[in-house]
Amino acid sequence: MRLSKLVGERFKDIPAGVSAKSHSLLLRAGYIKQVANGVYSLLPSAQRVSLKIQNIIREEMNKVDGQEVLMPVMMPREIWDKSGRYTSIGQEMVRFKDRNNHEMLLGMTHEEACVHLCQNTVKSYDQLPCMIYQIQTKIRDEARPRAGLLRVREFTMKDAYSFHTNNDDLNEYYNRVYKAYERIYKRIGMKNVIAISSDNGMMGGDGAHEFQLLVEAGEDNLILCENCDYKANMEIATSKLDNANFDDEKLEELFTENAKTIDELAMLLKKDKKQFIKAVCYAISGEKDKVIVAFIRGDKEVNDAKLKKYLGVNDINVTDISDTGLVKGNIGCVNLEMDNIIKVFDLSLKDQKGLICGANKEEYHYCGVNMLRDVKADNFVDIAKVNEGELCPVCGKPLIIRKGIEVGNIFKLGTHYTSAMEMTVSMPDGSQINPIMGCYGIGVGRCLAGIVEESSDDKGIVWPKAIAPWLVYLCPLRNDNAEVEEISEKLYNELSQNFEVLYDDRKISAGIKLTDSELMGIPVRVVISPRSLSQSQAEITIRESGEKIMVDLANLNETLAKLTMID
């Protein structure tokens, strides 16, 4: 490729209003161009990277017996009605009517389409297990796209779906795909990827994993143990309980003046915050008359995601309780009997005694609260947010928090979709069963941007060789020099036989060429100049290390073959 003809210009100025490193570098180096909020065109250089990532994914999917298909982006409402998701998914699914007034949608995922494809096509146990996959455009009208390609509304994704006759077979296949994913991330040059269980956070959950790239620009908070293998998304992470065992005392009312918050009470009574019971009130959207009151140990905070999951609702908000009969700042779980409230207790309160909670009237709290004796509660669940430094639920060592980008996920779906859509296969005994499914996704663009997030320096992108748009940047300096010009042209023609060469044939000053080669992140730069030609040599610079070597022109092919070899 001649750089003078490459579509996509490079910019010296840092783009305005851009915060993510990958976003800035991809724009500046001429890889992407924004079309709308969360919608981008990939320029030729980015498309080359994308195709290389896709091909690696394709090879690994084929290795686990995947069969590539292509399902539609546009689908009729009917197949999504069968799973119930036409109505259960919110505005992130794009819906529209076609010219015949038929309700249609744009695919954000393809479980329904996949079952549609396979039902009455895959009919017998004898055909299982089988897996189909596609690399295709997904449309998700995200509420808030951000950070360039990291979170977009339209993107290329590899999604795969497997079918099995029994759980053992699914589990075995799931593990094969898990290993394939590890190979994919390694091969595309992604370094800090971890797989975390997204099942229930405790060890042993193996129903789903998400693959998280650990970079600062990540939007997921991950709780990790540096000592053992515990790792979990903040949404479901747990920590080891560290309750102080307070003495059992008799229940008494306590005058607490105007102290309302845990901080004020701890100050007033000179007690550890752990001795208090905090009450947090939530409203469920759409249910005006109900109030959720979550009780939790005074020093802890409620994890909304966990609470929502427990309640099985989509949306909760911290609510104003002024007209509910609850006394703000004095809410307590002792003698609290109201029809319009749903009480939830965090595990940190289970079986505890000697605690302090609100007395449900102004200026008073109860002390000596014994959860077993004084509170009629049976629903103790984990709704607590984990903070950095809390102890690992497995090994007891301190936990740390890291940011991550979800670059892939794998799920055991079970028979949810096959039963909803009535897909069956014949078994040896003549019976019909709904096959068990697994599904497996990887976002291609997110991988591309994620790699830029973790692989760049102050000069620009540093592409891993396996996915670099070109491997060799042929860079003549002094194009006015006839010999440089002639030899460079000749080299371009020759080297292009064996390597992917980006030839900087522009008649411009040296600084621009050298800077562009670094900004674009091409792994190997070959400089041809009067200086190098005087020795019949080329000067090679390795982008990643900055290492420079002089190579005789006669040995150039051989040297480049070594330098561009993909590990």
> CB of residue 533 vs RNA: minimum separation in angstroms?
8
CA separation for the pair 457, 540 (Å, rounded): 19
| Shorter beta-carbon distance to RNA: residue 273 or 506 | 506
- Give the SS3 label for residue 39: strand
| Shorter beta-carbon distance to RNA: residue 110 or 187 | 110
| Shorter beta-carbon distance to RNA: residue 466 or 491 | 491
Strand-pairing partners, residue 32, are 42
Q: Which helix (H) or strand (E) holds 135?
A: strand 130-139
Peptide bond into 129 cis (omega under 30): yes
Instruction: For residue 3, give every residue at least 6 positions away whose Cβ sits within 8 Å of its Cβ, in sequence order, or none.
Output: 502, 503, 504, 505, 506, 516
DSSP string covering 140-199 = ---SS-BTGGGB-SEEEEEEEEEEESSHHHHHHHHHHHHHHHHHHHHHTT--SEEEEE-S
CA separation for the pair 386, 242 (Å, rounded): 12
> CB of residue 480 vs RNA: minimum separation in angstroms?
3
> CB of residue 271 vs RNA: minimum separation in angstroms?
30
> CB of residue 506 vs RNA: minimum separation in angstroms?
8
- Give the SS3 label for residue 541: strand
Cα-trace Rg, the chain:
30
Structure tokens at 244: 């102080």
> CB of residue 261 vs RNA: minimum separation in angstroms?
21
> CB of residue 276 vs RNA: minimum separation in angstroms?
24
> CB of residue 286 vs RNA: minimum separation in angstroms?
13
DSSP string covering 540-559 = EEETTT--EEEEEGGGHHHH
Looking at residue 262, the DSSP 8-state letter turns out to be H
| Shorter beta-carbon distance to RNA: residue 10 or 350 | 10
* Residues at the interface with RNA (CB under 7 A): 9-20, 23, 34, 36-38, 85, 89-90, 92, 108-109, 140, 142-147, 151, 219, 304-305, 308, 314-315, 409, 441, 459, 477-480, 507, 509-512, 514-516, 518-519, 527, 529-532, 539, 541
CA separation for the pair 80, 112 (Å, rounded): 6
Closest CA to 401 of 241, 242, 212: 212
**Spatial contact of 209 and 196, defined as CB atoms under 8 Å apart:** yes
| Shorter beta-carbon distance to RNA: residue 151 or 297 | 151
Length of the chain: 567
| Shorter beta-carbon distance to RNA: residue 131 or 333 | 131
| Shorter beta-carbon distance to RNA: residue 189 or 441 | 441
Structure tokens at 488: 């460079």
> CB of residue 498 vs RNA: minimum separation in angstroms?
23
∠ Cα 247 253 255 (to 5°): 110
| Shorter beta-carbon distance to RNA: residue 361 or 507 | 507
> CB of residue 213 vs RNA: minimum separation in angstroms?
15
| Shorter beta-carbon distance to RNA: residue 168 or 219 | 219
| Shorter beta-carbon distance to RNA: residue 38 or 189 | 38
Q: Which residue reads 């019949």 in tokens?
A: 536
CA separation for the pair 554, 482 (Å, rounded): 20
| Shorter beta-carbon distance to RNA: residue 14 or 338 | 14
> CB of residue 386 vs RNA: minimum separation in angstroms?
15
- Give the SS3 label for residue 318: strand
> CB of residue 441 vs RNA: minimum separation in angstroms?
6
DSSP string covering 334-364 = TT---TTEEEEEEGGGTT--SEEEE-SSTTE
- Give the SS3 label for residue 203: coil
Instruction: For residue 106, give every residue at least 6 positions away whose Cβ sits within 8 Å of its Cβ, in sequence order, or none.
Output: 73, 74, 75, 93, 94, 96, 139
> CB of residue 150 vs RNA: minimum separation in angstroms?
9
| Shorter beta-carbon distance to RNA: residue 288 or 531 | 531
